[in-house]
Structure 1
Amino acid sequence: MFTLLNIALFSGVAIAQAVSIGPTVDLGYVTYLGNQSYPNTVAYLGIPYAEPPVGNLRFRATVPLNTTRVTEEAKGEALVNATYYPDFCIQGTTGVGDAGGAGSEDCLKVNVYSPYGAKEGDNLPVLFYIHGGGYVFGNPRNWPFDSWINQSPNVIIVSIYYRLDSFGFLATPEFTDPTYGDFNAGFKDQIQALKWVKSYISKFGGSPTKVTINGQSAGGSSVELHMTANQGEQLFSGAIAQSVFRTPLPTPEQQQPLFQFYALYAGCGTGSVAKQMTCLRGASINALARAQDAAAQGKFSGLYDSFHPVLDGVLITGHPTRMFQYGEFVHVPLIVGSTSNETLSGGANISLALKEFFPSLTDEDIQEFLWLYPADEFDSPSQRFQVATGEPDVICGRQAMGAPSSLYSNTWAYRYNTPNPTSGADIVAHSAENWMMFDGTNTGPNGSTTFTPQTPSELAFASELVAYWLSFVRAGDPNAYKLDKSPTWEQYSETNPTRIVLMQDLQNLTVVSGSYMERQPVTETVRCAFAISKAQACEN
């Protein structure tokens, strides 16, 4: 493996000589040196796709990369080092008492994983990955794709960094005038990264017309938003939405109390919005990190206490669940699903949890939800809580997106049913598949993670999952290049809601699949139909 060398010191070395140092890619404005992580795999890490959102660009829409600036900053060097992970974006708290604030504002980068020897003209399909973390935290380094390329060296994978928490999603009604700031800056980062891919992925051997967007949790929510947002051009040809975070999309007016709290806590609470924004752009990262954490840790008493995407009326013009029901989304092949037992709510009181997650629900709405989840239908109060909150929080995204999608495009649904073996629990919780698909990762606060070694049977199951995912990327069909041992994944539709249960073989064998097909239970279909009907009240 080629490790860190200060390639920038090799001033005057000819490109032909430098190539022998390691794999390179010439983007026309600069040549990057990559890291050969496997004999057949190259990782180009930390490649900028936009201008650094610092100084006056803080809280503003993404600015396309100034390639002339990048060329000039390379100062004629033969190669620019792209063999190490970049600084991740400023983190918020994970909500378990930790402080956020780690990272950098200069974080609008991508990691590109490609087969060794891939070149322009190969036109390989592209997977574009959007990480999760509630739009508040997340570090792409914690979800590496080297092993995916090693298994299937016929795709290009792009993993992106985008602004998080207040840095990416600060909102107040005055932002309708961009003099003050811009709505949904973090989501606009994602769009700009897709545009960069369209312009430059061919240099890595990829096809700009064969791009599948994929994300988990907030990344899954982002996929849903890309399918419904008014982006002006089609930037992808397929979509994979994992455990869609069905968070409310408030209006800027509903977010205004949070803005005022944040500005006050950061020391910028007085004067006009113009003066507040000038103050916030001059504030230290430490002050802003403390302010955004304070809101999430209970010091703010308003209903909307998180910095998330908002209905800006221009880019995001409606609640995505409702738009899906009316066919107002990009019609591309889709995979959508969730884990078996996930919820994003805590506590034991269903009513309070629903009200906290969906602040606009009325007491009547909540009573209607409770009526659908009678206690005598569940094994325990904890199971009832998990299902009654987990379905509207996450699980019903499968039906909300999958049923409308199946009317226009080939659609597949799944239920992931293997616990994270390091969790100490039998339930298949939110993000359980990430541990399996990404080298045993368990993420922690401030961009950290712990990787746990995987057994041969776990590695075999991970390979089965990756094969399905990358088959979809390559062919728009998870079955085209699945493993021979894997079952055929039947399509999902509103009239025939069949889904695959993705599951490790219970005997821990490496040559047998534990996955199988099932029909979505009628009770789940009825409950999710109700949750979908409440999209306006849930604001999702």
Structure 2
Amino acid sequence: MLVLGLVVSALAWAIVVPTFVTARPGTVQLGRNIFQGNTSARDVTVFYGVPYAQAPVGNLRWRAPRPVTCLHSAPTKVIDATSPPLPCVQGGTGAGDAGGAGSEDCLKVNIYAPANATTRSNLPVLVYIHAYILGNPVNWPFTHWVQQDPNVVVLSVYYRLSAIGFLATPELADPAVGDLNVGFLDQVEALRWVQKNIRAFGGDPSRVTIDGHSAGASSAELHLVANEPPSLFRGVIAQSVFRHAIPTLEQKRGQFQEFARHAGCATGGPVAQMACLRKASLTAIAPAQDAWTSYETPYKSWTPVIDGKIIRDIPSTLLLQGKFKRVPVIVGYVDPSDGRGIRATTNDTLVFGATIALGLKTFFPQVTEGDITDLERAFPASNYSDPFVVQTTVYVYRYNQPNPTLQQPTNIAHAAENWMMFEGTNTGLNGTTEFTELNAVETAFSEELIAYWLSFVRSQNPNAHKLAHSPTWPSTRSMTRLALQEDPAGSTTRSGITIEVEPADEVSMCAEVIRKIVPEQH
């Protein structure tokens, strides 16, 4: 699947353990390559677009990522890493918009490090993952995080998206035809790259935490159950998790055929179709992947699948069987209190429909009316935790502060915490975003959130390095959670965050209902 170490010595600076940071300010050497970072920010060096794998183009489309190669005998090369790279080819949201911006040569990382970091710094590492369909890592900057707490190194990952990252059909299980879950495998390869190279940037490969938002949080949770080395990370943060079905390969056959037809590769069977798709231009690929809402198939969204290799079964099944990595977790709390769907902020919803029933049918096509009745009866305007909380240390939050730039500023919608934590970012289409300035109260609240997050990265405990005025965040073992919000009186020195008690029957009801439904669902 991936190059794992027994490689001819003439290959892959990516597998060579870096030995030093060069004397030139803002540079790092990996093998024969010297990367010049961006030193414009106070006390932080940002290395943009450092490759962790080869460009997945031509015959490498829909193939597992391959490490970057570089001959040791080649002369030393200085690589400009001062400007953000193009994002991976973007998908559309399904609302009639068009994706297509970006590049296929995108398997890269951005690294934010304290300016004085050396190979001896041994700083904990945060790896950030965005969503499956579209996203550009520079839209979630971390410079201010490292300025606030210069005891971490942060890395954000570019990986293949939409159909380019998650095309699936049974024939792709044959290595002669292609590989499955290549977007997820990109993430795994990036984590492997971190293990081999992050010391050059001041990081400690034994202290890696994965963070993700929305479908990126889904990725973070999938890494908990994925068939990958447990040494790749030691903690997970899952913000506003976008939960969805993980289909079987047969359930994705219809989506593959619809995509191939829209891309002009409808004939000849899957093997010939894959050959056609590898030759197709992006001007054919992008509209085909953006047409997913019109596909005549129930499993139409671009998501990971059960491939029997990296994702071996339904995640909930693996969790209930105890087949997951027992690491500390922060998770955005699920709160269906307004009756519209699954959310992690107070009014958050990704459901296409006005009711829980319609939303569940959209994301979980095999759900039955009986299942829906059981869920609605178990969770009437109440909250519940993830099935694995009783077996590992989990810190739960309900984000309760609106994004003030939205048309409905009292609605605490999906991604509201991202606006607060990432300098007022409101992401748009095709890798774009618009930043708006935070006021003094918002900045103070943002610093509280970042302190909790980076405390978790540093110690696997959000309380060890929190701000002095912030409340202690209890784990779910005490049946409580945090409600994250500004001080209602507008103070910049007093916390507005509160502790909420979670009724004991919510967890037990969740476990009972999920155990009943999970064997039927994919």
TM-score by length of 1: 0.87
Superposition deviation, residue 526 in structure 1: 5.9
**Distance across 2 between alignment mates of 1:241 and 1:351:** 24
Superposition deviation, residue 413 in structure 1: 1.4
Superposition deviation, residue 232 in structure 1: 3.8
- The equivalent position to 1:402 in structure 2, one of 383, 389, 402, is 389
Letter in 2 for 1:512: R
Letter in 1 for 2:191: L
**Distance across 2 between alignment mates of 1:372 and 1:195:** 41
Map of 1:306 onto structure 2: 301
**Distance across 2 between alignment mates of 1:482 and 1:369:** 36
Superposition deviation, residue 102 in structure 1: 0.8
Tell me the alpha carbon deviations over residues 298-330 of structure 1, each in whole angstroms, 9 at most, x when there is no partner. Answer: 2x1210111210000111112112222222111
The answer to whether the aligner puts 1:33 opposite 2:36 as a matched pair is: yes
8 Å Cα contact 1:324/1:404 also seen in 2: no
The answer to whether the aligner puts 1:448 opposite 2:432 as a matched pair is: yes
2:232 counterpart SS class = coil
**Distance across 2 between alignment mates of 1:432 and 1:64:** 36
Map of 1:121 onto structure 2: 120
8 Å Cα contact 1:402/1:413 also seen in 2: no
8 Å Cα contact 2:127/2:154 also seen in 1: yes
**Distance across 2 between alignment mates of 1:465 and 1:364:** 40
Cα distance change of structure 1 residues 439 and 537 upon mapping to structure 2, 3 Å threshold = farther
- Residue pairs, 1:234-245, within 5 angstroms: 234-245=231-242
**Distance across 1 between alignment mates of 2:181 and 2:229:** 16
2:359 counterpart SS class = helix
Cα distance change of structure 1 residues 470 and 327 upon mapping to structure 2, 3 Å threshold = same
The answer to whether the aligner puts 1:254 opposite 2:241 as a matched pair is: no
**Distance across 2 between alignment mates of 1:160 and 1:508:** 36
Cα distance change of structure 1 residues 119 and 324 upon mapping to structure 2, 3 Å threshold = same
Map of 2:402 onto structure 1: 419
- The equivalent position to 1:49 in structure 2, one of 46, 52, 61, is 52
Tell me the alpha carbon deviations over residues 82-117 of structure 1, each in whole angstroms, 9 at most, x when there is no partner. Answer: 011001011111232210111110000000000001
Map of 2:484 onto structure 1: 502
**Distance across 1 between alignment mates of 2:86 and 2:398:** 34
Map of 2:518 onto structure 1: 535
The answer to whether the aligner puts 1:437 opposite 2:440 as a matched pair is: no
1:279 counterpart SS class = helix
Identity across the alignment (%): 49
Cα distance change of structure 1 residues 486 and 205 upon mapping to structure 2, 3 Å threshold = same
- Residue pairs, 1:456-467, within 5 angstroms: 456-467=440-451
The answer to whether the aligner puts 1:517 opposite 2:496 as a matched pair is: no
Superposition deviation, residue 131 in structure 1: 1.2
Q: Whose helix proportion is higher, 1 or 2?
A: 1
Cα distance change of structure 1 residues 303 and 526 upon mapping to structure 2, 3 Å threshold = same
Tell me the alpha carbon deviations over residues 435-465 of structure 1, each in whole angstroms, 9 at most, x when there is no partner. Answer: 0000000111111111011001101100000
Map of 1:331 onto structure 2: 326
**Distance across 2 between alignment mates of 1:209 and 1:480:** 19
Letter in 2 for 1:413: V
Superposition deviation, residue 536 in structure 1: 3.4
8 Å Cα contact 2:94/2:291 also seen in 1: no
Tell me the alpha carbon deviations over residues 139-162 of structure 1, each in whole angstroms, 9 at most, x when there is no partner. Answer: 101000000001011110010001
Letter in 2 for 1:536: P
**Distance across 1 between alignment mates of 2:161 and 2:405:** 28
The answer to whether the aligner puts 1:355 opposite 2:361 as a matched pair is: yes
8 Å Cα contact 1:90/1:102 also seen in 2: yes
**Distance across 2 between alignment mates of 1:177 and 1:240:** 34
Map of 2:337 onto structure 1: none
**Distance across 2 between alignment mates of 1:42 and 1:324:** 39
The answer to whether the aligner puts 1:160 opposite 2:157 as a matched pair is: yes
1:128 counterpart SS class = strand
1:81 counterpart SS class = strand
Report the more deviating stretch, 483-492 or 226-235.
226-235
Report the more deviating stretch, 146-155 or 328-337.
328-337
Question: What's the Cα RMSD here?
Answer: 2.0
Map of 1:382 onto structure 2: none
8 Å Cα contact 2:129/2:216 also seen in 1: yes
**Distance across 2 between alignment mates of 1:104 and 1:114:** 26
**Distance across 2 between alignment mates of 1:350 and 1:440:** 30
1:38 counterpart SS class = coil
Cα distance change of structure 1 residues 212 and 294 upon mapping to structure 2, 3 Å threshold = same
**Distance across 1 between alignment mates of 2:243 and 2:64:** 24
Aligned residue-pair number: 489
**Distance across 2 between alignment mates of 1:103 and 1:164:** 11
Cα distance change of structure 1 residues 200 and 488 upon mapping to structure 2, 3 Å threshold = same
Tell me the alpha carbon deviations over residues 206-235 of structure 1, each in whole angstroms, 9 at most, x when there is no partner. Answer: 111111111111111111111101114521
Letter in 1 for 2:373: Q
Superposition deviation, residue 522 in structure 1: 5.3
Superposition deviation, residue 524 in structure 1: 4.7
Map of 2:9 onto structure 1: none
**Distance across 2 between alignment mates of 1:518 and 1:92:** 38
Moved over 6 A (4+): none
**Distance across 2 between alignment mates of 1:302 and 1:86:** 35
8 Å Cα contact 1:50/1:65 also seen in 2: yes
Superposition deviation, residue 530 in structure 1: 5.5
**Distance across 1 between alignment mates of 2:122 and 2:411:** 41
TM-score by length of 2: 0.90
Map of 1:220 onto structure 2: 217
- The equivalent position to 1:428 in structure 2, one of 385, 409, 412, is 412
- The equivalent position to 1:196 in structure 2, one of 164, 189, 193, is 193
8 Å Cα contact 2:265/2:273 also seen in 1: yes
**Distance across 2 between alignment mates of 1:340 and 1:444:** 22
**Distance across 2 between alignment mates of 1:420 and 1:341:** 12
Q: What are the ranges of 5 or more consecutive residues in structure 1 without an aligned counterpart?
A: 1-17, 379-386
Tell me the alpha carbon deviations over residues 105-142 of structure 1, each in whole angstroms, 9 at most, x when there is no partner. Answer: 0000000000001010111110011112xx11111010
Report the more deviating stretch, 217-226 or 461-470.
217-226
1:274 counterpart SS class = helix
Q: What are the ranges of 5 or more consecutive residues in structure 2 without an aligned counterpart?
A: 1-21, 333-343
Superposition deviation, residue 66 in structure 1: 1.2
**Distance across 2 between alignment mates of 1:343 and 1:401:** 22
8 Å Cα contact 1:325/1:404 also seen in 2: no
**Distance across 2 between alignment mates of 1:346 and 1:272:** 33
Superposition deviation, residue 341 in structure 1: 2.1
Map of 1:468 onto structure 2: 452
The answer to whether the aligner puts 1:271 opposite 2:268 as a matched pair is: yes
Superposition deviation, residue 538 in structure 1: 4.2
Superposition deviation, residue 80 in structure 1: 1.0
- The equivalent position to 2:64 in structure 1, one of 58, 61, 64, is 61
Cα distance change of structure 1 residues 524 and 469 upon mapping to structure 2, 3 Å threshold = same
Superposition deviation, residue 19 in structure 1: 5.8
**Distance across 2 between alignment mates of 1:437 and 1:177:** 43
8 Å Cα contact 2:292/2:300 also seen in 1: yes
8 Å Cα contact 2:32/2:76 also seen in 1: no
Tell me the alpha carbon deviations over residues 254-285 of structure 1, each in whole angstroms, 9 at most, x when there is no partner. Answer: 00011011111111110032211110000011
